[in-house]
Amino acid sequence: MNSSVEQEVVFSPLDVERVRAQFPSLQQSINGQQAIFLDSPGGTQVPQSVMDAVRDYFERSNANTGGAFATSSRTDAVIADARAAMADLLKCAADEIFFGANMTTMTFALARAIGRELKSGDEIVVTTLDHDANVAPWRALEEECNVVVRQVDIDPADCTLDLSDLKRQITKRTRLVAVGYAANAVGTINPVRDIVRLAHEAGALAFIDAVHYAPHGLIDVRALDCDFLACSPYKFFGPHMGCIYGKRDHLLRFRPHKVRPSTDTVPARWETGTLNHEGLAGVTAAIDYLAFVGTMCGCNVPTDRRAAIETAYKAIRQHEVALMTRMIDGLLRIPGLRFFGIADPARFEHRVPTVGIRVGNYKPADMAARLGQRGIFTWDGNYYAVNLTERLGVEDSGGLLRIGLVHYNTVEEVDSVITALTEIAASECKNVRA
């Protein structure tokens, strides 16, 4: 969160009403209540500009690539624009970006390509905090290439990675360390820069799953020095797609599984089959939306998209920290509530505004259903962070209730969910007494 560039950015606070005006879906009502979207870790809402870009693609540019006619040339431009936009978002070169269906599918394919170079006894390190999309693709190599997968433990008291265990698990046989930037179930931000350094010192590659971090924090792959970094545009206000950054040398060296006679140039050699072109038009629009937030918040070089994105994240972070502080304070006052993750405001720099809780004896699914009836959208279960819910001992009893905030959420929405949870918790106490 604290790159030196970010520190220098001048910005004014986020105008949340102006932000919300960009998102038509936020206006919906459920049972007479204005809907409250606290489900963003499962996917964010999209601004009007993203919807317009997708529709515009179908109206003006719909074609396959590489043809000698106008709509095909426009499609080639749409793909190039999306790569350039992602390059600004992640701070890399456009030919270090490749797209696909979603992070999970793409990570399986990348792992399979990397696996071609591994041999029996090589090791891969994964973590207990991660979404299974950053575990299962690497575990698949246990069967395919006989590699050994080691799993880093957490400190269950605050759901942070156990860094001494991480150091123990990285050995001279480690070939790759796969770690999340932020935990999708409980919001912990991992010290990824340090983890990349530890991986490199052992001669291993570092793969970062930034799917959950991307809507909340500025990413700079050059500063991280990671070898690969994955994210999913539908988690940062864009369409349902996936995207991976890879250092150019790696994208040239590793060999993806491909049909013939498709191109062998980077990054296209990593994109098997036809891409979601309309989605790519939306990806560019989503990143331009973030840049718009930056200009709205005072970026004085609006022609520099990266500079505008940096300002946007600074303002987004400030707003999210205020919401998160209020929400966690409110949650901790609810009798019978169990909180999973970092709860101390002095350590909030190590978390994003995604929280995991249990309330009394309620099953998280029942809580989510009750909130849903009130128009408050949350998630229950493990959200594929199944190693974590097992480690916390909550998997067999329904996992956790997850409340996820992003920058279009408001103080009033935070207060509403706290009031609703307080009432639901109190009604359980009454039932138990009756």
Ligand X SMILES: Cc1ncc(COP(=O)(O)O)c(C=O)c1O
CB of 212 to ligand X, least distance (A): 4
Here's the x/- map for ligand X, 12-51, by CB under 6 A: it reads as -----------------------------x----------
Region from 205-213, 306-314, 323-331, 415-423 binding ligand X, contact rule CB under 6 A: 205-213
CB of 172 to ligand X, least distance (A): 29
Here's the x/- map for ligand X, 148-187, by CB under 6 A: it reads as --------------------------------x---x---
Among 131, 247, 269, 351, binds ligand X (CB under 6 A): 131
The nearer residue to ligand X, 132 or 366, going by C-beta atoms, is 132
Region from 3-11, 130-138, 192-200, 391-399 binding ligand X, contact rule CB under 6 A: 130-138
The nearer residue to ligand X, 294 or 364, going by C-beta atoms, is 364
Q: Does 358 bind ligand X (CB under 6 A)?
A: no
Q: Identify the sign of the CA torsion 27, 30, 32, 34.
A: negative
Size of the site for ligand X (CB under 6 A): 14
Please compute, for residue 236, the number of CA atoms within 13 A of its CA located in the half-sphere on the CB side. Answer: 33
Region from 29-37, 126-134, 311-319, 352-360 binding ligand X, contact rule CB under 6 A: 126-134
- The neighbouring-strand residues paired with 39 are 404
The nearer residue to ligand X, 169 or 184, going by C-beta atoms, is 184
The nearer residue to ligand X, 61 or 184, going by C-beta atoms, is 184
SS3 content of the chain, % helix, strand, coil (to 5): 50, 15, 35
CB of 49 to ligand X, least distance (A): 22
Cβ-Cβ contacts under 8 Å for 350 (sequence gap 6 or more): 160, 188, 189, 342
Query: If 0-12 CB within 10 Å is exposed, 13-18 middle and 19+ buried, where does residue 297 land?
Result: buried
CB of 211 to ligand X, least distance (A): 4
CB of 401 to ligand X, least distance (A): 16
SS3 228: strand
Among 87, 97, 133, 420, binds ligand X (CB under 6 A): 133
Whether the Cβ atoms of residue 100 and residue 241 lie closer than 8 Å to each other: yes
Region from 44-52, 129-137, 245-253, 279-287 binding ligand X, contact rule CB under 6 A: 129-137
Among 209, 227, 278, 310, binds ligand X (CB under 6 A): 209
The nearer residue to ligand X, 47 or 233, going by C-beta atoms, is 233
Q: Does 110 bind ligand X (CB under 6 A)?
A: no
The nearer residue to ligand X, 170 or 179, going by C-beta atoms, is 179
SS3 176: strand
Cβ-Cβ contacts under 8 Å for 70 (sequence gap 6 or more): none
Query: β-strands 242-246, 97-100: how paired?
Result: antiparallel
Cβ-Cβ contacts under 8 Å for 224 (sequence gap 6 or more): 192, 193, 196, 208
The nearer residue to ligand X, 41 or 294, going by C-beta atoms, is 41
The nearer residue to ligand X, 47 or 238, going by C-beta atoms, is 238
In the 8-state DSSP scheme, what is residue 246? E
The nearer residue to ligand X, 209 or 428, going by C-beta atoms, is 209
CB of 136 to ligand X, least distance (A): 10
Query: If 0-12 CB within 10 Å is exposed, 13-18 middle and 19+ buried, where does residue 273 land?
Result: exposed
The nearer residue to ligand X, 212 or 305, going by C-beta atoms, is 212
Query: What are the backbone angles phi and psi of residue 116, rounded to the nearest 5°?
Result: -60, -25
Q: Does 129 bind ligand X (CB under 6 A)?
A: no
Q: Does 239 bind ligand X (CB under 6 A)?
A: no
Q: Does 232 bind ligand X (CB under 6 A)?
A: yes
The nearer residue to ligand X, 122 or 227, going by C-beta atoms, is 227
Tokens of 312: 């946007």
Whether the Cβ atoms of residue 109 and residue 257 lie closer than 8 Å to each other: yes
**How far is residue 254's CA from residue 318's CA, in Å, rounded to a whole number?**
40
Cβ-Cβ contacts under 8 Å for 297 (sequence gap 6 or more): 11, 12, 13, 14, 15, 311, 312, 314, 315
Whether the Cβ atoms of residue 411 and residue 357 lie closer than 8 Å to each other: no
HEC assignment per residue over 345-387: HHHHHHECCEEEEEECCCCHHHHHHHHHHCCEECEEECCCCHH
Binding site for ligand X (CB under 6 A): 41, 102-104, 131, 133-134, 180, 184, 209, 211-212, 232, 242
